[in-house]
Amino acid sequence: MCESCIDRLFTLGPAPCPICNKILRKLAFTPQTFEDLDVEKEVAVRRRIAKEFNKRREDFPDLRSYNDYLEEVEDIAFNLINDIDVAETEARIAQYKIENAAIIEQNLQREEQYAQYLKEQEEADRLEREQRAAELKKLEEEEREEKEKGRQELIDKLETSDKDVKKLIARSRAEAMKRAAARIITPALRSTSHLLRSRAAQSTAVPDVPHVPLQDDWYAYEDKFTLRDDYDDPVSDAVRKDREGIMRAGGYRVEEAWERALRFAVAGLDVRPLQGLRSEPPPASTSQDVVMTAA
Amino acid sequence: MAAEATPSTASSSNSKIPIYEGSTQYRHWRFSPEQLAHTRATLNEAAVKLIRDAFEADSAGSSSSVSFLNADEELLLVKLYAGKVSQLCGHFRFPEEVEATAVTYLKRFYLKNTVMDWHPKNVMLTALFLATKTTNHPIALEHYASHIPRTAPSDVLDLEFLVAQSLGFDFAVWHAHRALWGIWLDIQTLPDIDMNELRKAYDVALTHVRASRLTDVELIYTPSQIALACLSLASPGLASAWARSKSGSPESSPSSPSSTPSPEILVLELLEPIKSMILIQGSPPDVEAVREVDRRLKLCKNPEKIVGSNAYNKKREAQERKAAEKRARKAAQVRQAMADGDPFGSELAEQDMVDDDDDDD
């Protein structure tokens, strides 16, 4: 029903609905959220029921009783949505409310607390992020100031002293580097370790499920070589020296390449070569273009 | 097919199969020198006979003036084009694995086919392209063909399936250069190794490995043996030191004096023929000789494979006729089955089993 009609009909108090003549109040009208009216009705019913039927799994001794409870709730919802036995269903709801008043209250409290807790978490996170941003900005400021100061000092010194120009410049540059290095180490360490600690505290480590290692009948020359941690190896230098780890993106590990190479180096080292002609030399037929090699 | 020699490993007591012996390189592409020579000779003879017949069918008496290639000359040509692979790879900057794989594919292909049927130039291009794909360094076909003069993409693609089939679809190859890298890494675990000496030896050994690609060693020996042989050519001391460390087994104690030579001696003995093969055969073939062979090849190519020649057309017609016959036969069978009322054929036993497989083509 459009808003203007609602205003027209119901401003002067409760009035009968033009279609079904039920008495309605203006307050009872809510704006429609879903396109489908049936869905809207269902959602409204479920919202109403959920306020009362808010028990959780923990409130039940076993799964069966929990599922029974859920089925009750669905039953009631179904009846209300499809207008079956409305009066009886209302009676059931009322009875449930009387029986479980205390538990309902408890659950309401609990939910409220949880919502509160979540909000606080969010606040804390946001504050932390802001703090960190502020710190970084402060650091940048400091750096810039120091650089400026350094340059000023250099200019002054060049003006005033007679010492060798190059030496002065070199010295000031060395000092600047030292300052930069010292600065990078301390704040970085601080913030990342703090982050790591909080994240570790939140998540709980999941222990590895015990599993049987892969067993098959292949001998992979494991006893013929031992893989060391590090080799002098120009071939893999590019990958190992790559600081940003771009080359290792797909999970590439140098150790695996080394292991493969080592395996190749010892594989078949004592296989004797074939000798002489066997009784059946490989079929040499060129009447066909291709020979499908027999296994 | 090449029968398998029993693996004479020191650990033959355990029932597990070494993985190298599960690879197709071990199972299908391992021969003795005698077998190789025999294969090539018989292949060559059969090919000459076929081509001679094709020539005769075309115009009688023409084949007497043509001098066909023999197996050694074919090998010369293959060797030349194997060297060209290396040049191409340098041009495209392909990794060594691609180059090694392509050369292996080329050699294996010409153990199953003859040069007179398929010119090695095209086969080489196709083998290289296939190698880039199978070693996970693919490039676009247009890019590949555009960088090679006088080559259209279809030249490469036409032979691709043929090459793959001739390889028996055994695309994975175990290479000696990787084994050499492994030996380089492993030697560093030995005590008292002079890194400078090792480095120099490694570089020399690598050139030997590259030379070995022009020889037949990879069809006879395992990649680890070839790598050890190359290292032994560069620095015998290092090689034997490493071999000794690998064979460190209880048998090398003085309790068994001379009845069983220590495994390390066996391995080192094994290396001698490899070394001589690499030194003798590992250089690019003589340009003049190759030019001569190439000239003769132009005259003795199999006319059946040249698109547009009489023999080719005749062969195509013969094939099509066979296919048409087969289709007619099948249609007749189906019609008969429908007439009988049961579309799946009622009396299986009464029909002659006609072999309609496509394999023979």
Which residue in this structure is represented by tokens 């197996």? B71
Q: What is the pLDDT of residue A198?
A: 56
8 Å CB contact of B10 and A282:
no
| Per-residue tokens: A236 | 């893999």
Residue B69 and residue B214 in one domain? no
Q: What is the CATH number of the domain that holds B68?
A: 1.10.472.10
- Residue of A227, A229, A236, A264 to mutate, testing the B interface (most B Cβ within 10 Å of its Cβ): A264
Q: What is the pLDDT of residue A295?
A: 37
Which residue in this structure is represented by tokens 């080719």? B312
Query: Higher pLDDT residue, B175 or A287?
Result: B175
- Considering only CB atoms, B32 lies closest to which of A217, A219, A274, namely A274
Q: What is the pLDDT of residue B61?
A: 67
Q: What is the pLDDT of residue A15?
A: 84
- Considering only CB atoms, B178 lies closest to which of A219, A264, A274, namely A264
Find chain B residues with C-beta within 8 A of A233's C-beta.
Answer: 184-185
Q: What is the CATH number of the domain that holds B181?
A: 1.10.472
Q: What average pLDDT does this structure show over B190-198?
A: 87
Q: What average pLDDT does this structure show over B116-124?
A: 90
User: Beta B17-18 vs A218-219: how paired, if at all?
Assistant: parallel
Number of domains chain B contains = 3
| Burial profile A136-151: b = 16 or more Cβ within 10 angstroms, e = fewer | eeeeeeeeeeeeeeee
Cα–Cα dist B107/A234, whole Å: 31
Do the domain assignments include residue B61? yes
Q: What average pLDDT does this structure show over B49-53?
A: 86
Cα–Cα dist B222/B110, whole Å: 20
Do the domain assignments include residue B266? yes
Cα–Cα dist B101/B174, whole Å: 9
Which residue in this structure is represented by tokens 């027999």? A294
| A216 to chain B, closest Cα gap in Å | 8
Q: Which residues contact B208 (CB under 8 A, 6 or more apart)?
A: B229, B230, B233, B234, B278, B282
| DSSP 8-state code for residue B258 | S
- Residue of B38, B219, B224 to mutate, testing the A interface (most A Cβ within 10 Å of its Cβ): B224
| A192 to chain B, closest Cα gap in Å | 37
| Per-residue tokens: A269 | 């080292």
Chain A contact present for B164, CB below 8 A: no
Find chain A residues with C-beta within 8 A of B178's C-beta.
Answer: 260-261, 264
pLDDT tens for B55-75 read 887 776 666 777 888 888 889
User: What confidence tier does B249 reach under pLDDT thresholds 50, 70, 90?
Assistant: very low
Q: How many CB pairs under 8 A join A and B?
A: 182
ipTM of the complex in this document = 0.76
The answer on pLDDT for B156 being more than 70 is: yes
Q: Determine phi and psi for A43, rounding to 5 degrees.
A: -60, -40
Please state the pTM of the whole predicted model: 0.61
Do the domain assignments include residue B313? no
Find chain B residues with C-beta within 8 A of A293's C-beta.
Answer: 1, 28, 112, 168, 170
Cα–Cα dist B109/B77, whole Å: 13
Cβ–Cβ under 8 Å, residues B78 and B120: yes
- What is the domain range of residue B153? 23-173+286-304
CA B204 to chain CA centroid, Å, is 25
Lowest mean pLDDT among A139-143, B169-173, B237-241: B237-241
8 Å CB contact of A264 and B224:
yes
Cα–Cα dist B292/A166, whole Å: 71
- Considering only CB atoms, A290 lies closest to which of B17, B22, B166, namely B166
Cα–Cα dist B117/B44, whole Å: 11
pLDDT tens for A214-228 read 777 788 888 888 888
Q: Determine phi and psi for B265, rounding to 5 degrees.
A: -65, -40
CB atoms within 10 A of CB B296: 16
Q: What is the pLDDT of residue A279?
A: 47
Do the domain assignments include residue B159? yes
The answer on pLDDT for B192 being more than 80 is: yes
Residue B219 and residue B297 in one domain? no
Do the domain assignments include residue B271? yes
The answer on pLDDT for B162 being more than 90 is: yes
Do the domain assignments include residue B128? yes
| Per-residue tokens: A151 | 């340059």
Q: What average pLDDT does this structure show over B120-136?
A: 93
Do the domain assignments include residue B48? yes
The answer on pLDDT for A115 being more than 50 is: yes
Chain A contact present for B50, CB below 8 A: yes
Q: What is the pLDDT of residue A183?
A: 66
Q: Name residues 244-263 of chain B within 8 A of A (Cβ).
A: 246, 263
| A236 to chain B, closest Cα gap in Å | 11
Residue B186 and residue B73 in one domain? no
User: Average model confidence (pLDDT) for chain A?
Assistant: 80
CA torsion sign for B89, B95, B100, B102 is negative
Residue B239 and residue B293 in one domain? no
Is A76 strand, coil or helix?
A: helix
Query: Higher pLDDT residue, B252 or A73?
Result: A73
Residue B113 and residue B207 in one domain? no
User: Average model confidence (pLDDT) for chain B?
Assistant: 83
Chain A contact present for B52, CB below 8 A: no
Q: What is the pLDDT of residue A29?
A: 81
Q: What is the pLDDT of residue A251?
A: 78
| Per-residue tokens: B279 | 């030194």
Query: Higher pLDDT residue, B153 or A233?
Result: B153
8 Å CB contact of A292 and B10:
no
Q: What average pLDDT does this structure show over B92-98?
A: 92
Residue B160 and residue B184 in one domain? no
8 Å CB contact of A270 and B32:
no
Q: What average pLDDT does this structure show over A17-42?
A: 85
Chain B contact present for A233, CB below 8 A: yes
8 Å CB contact of B165 and A290:
yes
CB atoms within 10 A of CB A61: 7
Residue B193 and residue B327 in one domain? no
Q: What is the pLDDT of residue B39?
A: 92
Find chain A residues with C-beta within 8 A of B18's C-beta.
Answer: 218-221, 267-268
Q: Which residues contact A254 (CB under 8 A, 6 or more apart)?
A: A236, A239, A240
- Can you give B55-109 as a three-state secondary structure string? HHHHCCCHHHHCCCCCHHHHHHHHHHHHHHHHHHHHHHCCCHHHHHHHHHHHHHH
The answer on pLDDT for B6 being more than 50 is: no
Q: What is the pLDDT of residue B252?
A: 38
8 Å CB contact of B179 and A291:
no
Find chain B residues with C-beta within 8 A of A270's C-beta.
Answer: 7-10, 263, 266-267
Residue B101 and residue B194 in one domain? no
Lowest mean pLDDT among A31-35, A140-144, B58-62, B215-219: B58-62
The answer on pLDDT for A281 being more than 60 is: no
Cβ–Cβ under 8 Å, residues B68 and B116: yes
Q: Which of B170, B199, B282, B9 has the alpha carbon at shortest distance from A295? A: B170
Residue B40 and residue B127 in one domain? yes
Find chain B residues with C-beta within 8 A of A218's C-beta.
Answer: 16-19, 22
Chain A contact present for B34, CB below 8 A: yes
8 Å CB contact of B267 and A269:
yes
Residue B169 and residue B234 in one domain? no
Q: What is the pLDDT of residue A190?
A: 55
Q: Which residues contact B282 (CB under 8 A, 6 or more apart)?
A: B208, B211, B212, B214, B215
8 Å CB contact of A271 and B7:
yes
Q: Which of B300, B333, B218, B331 has the alpha carbon at shortest distance from B49? A: B300
Q: Name residues 246-265 of chain A within 8 A of B (Cβ).
A: 258, 260-265
The answer on pLDDT for A120 being more than 60 is: yes
Q: Name residues 98-157 of chain A within 8 A of B (Cβ).
A: none
Cα–Cα dist A188/B157, whole Å: 56
- Considering only CB atoms, B9 lies closest to which of A258, A270, A274, namely A270
Cα–Cα dist A10/B69, whole Å: 108
Beta bridge partners of A218: B17
8 Å CB contact of B189 and A226:
yes
Residue B39 and residue B58 in one domain? yes
Q: What average pLDDT does this structure show over A57-67?
A: 90
Q: Which of B281, B279, B284, B247 has the alpha carbon at shortest distance from B263? A: B247
Residue B162 and residue B194 in one domain? no
pLDDT tens for B289-322 read 889 888 888 888 887 777 777 777 888 888 899 9
Do the domain assignments include residue B57? yes
Cβ–Cβ under 8 Å, residues B300 and B44: no
Highest mean pLDDT among A26-35, A277-286, B335-344: A26-35
8 Å CB contact of B185 and A262:
yes
| Per-residue tokens: A239 | 């990958």
8 Å CB contact of B35 and A266:
no
